[in-house]
A and B are shown apart, each in its own frame.
Chain A
Amino acid sequence: MDNTDNRNAHHKSNYAIKNNLHLLLLLIPGLAVLVLFTFYPIIKMAVMSFFDWKIGYSQTSRFVGLKNYVDVFTDPIARTALVNTLYYALITVPMQIALGLLTALLIYGIKKFSLTFRLLYYLPVITSWVVVALLFRYIFSNQGLLNYIITEVLHISDKPVGWLSTRWPALTATTILGIWKGIGWNMVVFLAALHAVPVELFEAASIDGANSVQKFFYITLPNIKGTILFALVMLFIGAFNTFTPINVITGGNPAHQTEVVLTWMYFQTFGTVGKMGYSAALSVIISLIVSVIAVILFRVIKPESRGGKL
């Protein structure tokens, strides 16, 4: 009896090894790409953040310990950029989710023209960031469409309003762009989630006499919790990666007051003589912040839903 068990176990482990080897062989090409273009650059960047990294082929990079991190933490513009990024994230993420979910619910509820509305709301997502950022710039600039309406059509004021002239109004204009462009993506994600909620639950609730609001809060929301978490994490990462709207609309001006972390990182790397170490340290810090936010979101939302964990 024991012998048979041992033999079986031996066969099983042989089979497992063979199976794993097969898996490995199939995974190698994908893994190689992942290692070369994702893991390696991440690790290299982390290493660079401890060096006064020189890009000249004949120059030697000097180990400077935590100096780059100290430079980032004591740099007032880096702080401004981080605060601006958080402002952008805290406005665009909830607004995109709220409006995306609302649009999804409205489209979910209609029978006709559902595809047309889906297409219309998704259009901003597939348009070029540069093109729409330029359009927003023309709308909000001193001689732009909005000021034309204010001064020439409605005659509310004879002087144009400097929507983009100072820090907070300019950042707010970019958040409007971010929200407008993101609604479509959220709508598609939430529509898919809504379709996955079992209809029987709504039918049962109707029999129990639940109204639409109760159905939304007690059935829809708990069932799409996982999707909300997914959208939150993706959108926070996206918000920390925002670059084009700021670069096109304000260029970080005036005096770097409207920089976000990525535009500031880009300026430090390519706008000057290449502060690679500083930028690498800033990247590491931002990655850590985004990771912490993601962990907090997972803890708070606890994505157990139907079918187990997300």
Chain B
Amino acid sequence: MRLFSRFLAALLLLSLLFSMTGCGGQSSLPSATDKPPTETAETNDEGNASSKKPIEIEFWHNYDAGAGQIDVLEQLIAEFERENPDIKVNHLYLEWSALRSNVFAGASTGELPDVLRGDIGFVPQFQSLDILFEMSSLPDYNDVASKIMEAPNSTAKMGDKFYGIAANTNTKILFYNKKMFADAGLSIPKTLDEMWDCAEKLSNSKTIGFVEAWTGVWNIGQYIWSYGGDVMAPDNSTATGYINGPVSVAVVQKLADLYKKKALSGPTLDPGALGDTDGWAAGVYAMEIDGPWRHTLAQAANIDIGAVQMPPGPAGSIGVLGGEDFMMFKTSDEQHREAAWKFIKFMVDKKAQVAMAKVGQMPVNKEAMSDPEALEALPLLPIFEEALKTARSRPVTPKWSDIENIIATKVAEAITGQKDVQKALDEAAAEIDNLLASD
């Protein structure tokens, strides 16, 4: 029995040593040089093989299959492969959070795709893991970027470097339930103040005037900016005086008042509330500032929905930029990188951008934006185009994900009345500044 105990002890010791080695040097993990064995190397081994194998690039994305975007993507890939017979694109659909967590998992093993098309918010998150390839180092990056609208592409910029290129864009506009406005005899609000008034007037025991799906800067940033405030200093060095400044406090106080009067709701404020899509379909919510998908979803639910640009505040109508960027990773070798960049250039070119516009993706290519076919497919495009002129990107800084979580938590505490607005936002500013000060 003693032998058995010794054996168990040895096993435990071994597993301890095994785990200790895991936290020291990470040399055992793959590096950019040993992933993946390129096909060219294989063909070299085989001598001068007559039929050279194409370079295969891995492409992860979250294009919407339901909207027919994956069918269009497959057609585009086939066309790209015809034009570039030496390249083969293997695409893989991953739902938003799966896309993110797969990159997180791949970040620790080095198993990452050559190209990724994902949320603009992923750029700072992935770069904080030091895995993104600096795309502005590509010799013709500036030429390609010059054909793309500047605002959407700013979402890939960190410091003075670009770690991606805009794939498609969106911003948020005001959607309203036409019937509810007509029944209440209200006209469409012309200013943000009028919009809050309408929210109150449209609320009763069965309906709620306004819905916010979350309390991050994606949701409240647009109001703070339009009233002339900001969430962080322009150089992202501090949040004090910005997120807890008088404008931010007034905006959040207004939202807190509306929540108290049951004129504002949303599942992150009240877990018992209907999600925005269900609430629109049930005819509970009257207004929402949201992206182009709201139009499609409401139409699918047979809701007569109207859309106008977000009503302006004293500083104008400054929406928040959304959309997706193409990204490349450090793990790809030179050949795969070249092939990946070729594919990205193809995807941001007018033809592919118009094709994607037809299935609901708002283009970033300047020429595609005014293309008649794109305009026909996206009837709200002129409203969005106007909104995009003044839309702003959320701060692109490595700790943004944590910063936005702090803001979302503190704003939710303030709106739901758990804390005084000024106190909650002071705490947010202090926490953010602490986070920025830590390495």
Contact = CB atoms under 8 A, between A and B. Distances in A.
The answer on A and B forming one complex is: yes
Interface of A: 17, 20-21, 23-24, 31, 35-36, 39-40, 43-44, 47-48, 51, 53-61, 77, 140-144, 158-160, 162-165, 170, 249-251, 253-258, 270-274
A304 B410 CA distance: 52
Interface string B203-221: 0010000000000000000
Nearest to A144: B272
B129 A56 contact: yes
Interface stretch (B87-95, B107-115, B159-167, B348-356): B107-115
B22 interface: yes
Given A31-B8, A141-B273, A163-B272, 18 more contacts: A24-B3, A35-B11, A35-B12, A43-B15, A47-B19, A55-B104, A58-B330, A140-B272, A141-B272, A165-B270, A165-B273, A249-B271, A251-B271, A253-B270, A254-B269, A255-B412, A255-B418, A270-B101
26 contacts: A21-B3, A35-B11, A39-B15, A40-B15, A43-B19, A47-B20, A51-B23, A54-B129, A55-B107, A57-B26, A57-B30, A57-B108, A58-B31, A59-B130, A142-B274, A143-B274, A158-B205, A162-B270, A164-B271, A253-B268, A254-B270, A255-B409, A255-B410, A272-B405, A273-B402, A274-B104
Given A58-B131, A162-B272, A254-B412, A271 B405 contact: yes
B104 to A, nearest CB: 6
The 4 A-B residue pairs with the shortest CB-CB distance in the complex, in nearest-first order: A164-B272, A56-B129, A255-B412, A250-B271
B171 interface: no
Interface string B398-416: 0101100100011011001
Contacts of B232: none
A251 B268 contact: yes
Given A40-B15, A47-B20, A273 B7 contact: no
Contact of A24 (B7, B412, B413): B7
A165 B4 CA distance: 56
B14 to A, nearest CB: 8
B198 to A, nearest CB: 21
Contacts of B271: 164-165, 170, 249-251, 253-254, 258
B402 A272 contact: yes
B69 to A, nearest CB: 26
Contacts of B20: 47
A255 to B, nearest CB: 4
Contact of A159 (B205, B282, B331): B205
B129 A273 contact: yes
Contacts of B14: 35
Interface string B94-123: 000000010010011110000000000000
Contact of A57 (B18, B29, B409, B413): B29
A28 to B, nearest CB: 9
Contacts of B8: 31
Contacts of B3: 17, 20-21, 24
Query: What does DSSP make chain A's interface, helix, strand, loop or mixed?
Result: loop
A127 B101 CA distance: 27
B402 to A, nearest CB: 5
Which residue of A56, A140, A165, A272 has the most chain B CB atoms within 10 A of its CB atom?
A56
Contacts of A60: 25-26
A136 to B, nearest CB: 11
Contact of B11 (A20, A39, A61, A140): A39
A254 B272 contact: no
Contact of B284 (A36, A40, A47, A143): A143
A140 B22 CA distance: 46
A242 to B, nearest CB: 16
A54 B104 CA distance: 10
A51 B270 CA distance: 36
Contact of A44 (B22, B26, B409): B22
A225 to B, nearest CB: 30
A170 B1 CA distance: 52
A299 to B, nearest CB: 26
A257 B418 contact: yes
A258 B270 CA distance: 11
Nearest to A45: B19
Contacts of B233: none
A142 B273 contact: yes
Contacts of A271: 405
Nearest to A56: B129
Contacts of B405: 271-272
Nearest to A270: B101
Which residue of A59, A253, A272 has the most chain B CB atoms within 10 A of its CB atom?
A253
B268 A273 contact: no
Contacts of A249: 271
Contacts of A164: 270-272
A54 B128 CA distance: 10
B16 interface: yes
B416 A254 contact: yes
Contacts of A250: 271
A297 to B, nearest CB: 26
Interface string B16-40: 1011101101100111000000000
A274 B398 CA distance: 13
B270 to A, nearest CB: 4
Nearest to A39: B15
B382 interface: no
B228 interface: no
B131 A143 contact: no
B369 to A, nearest CB: 33
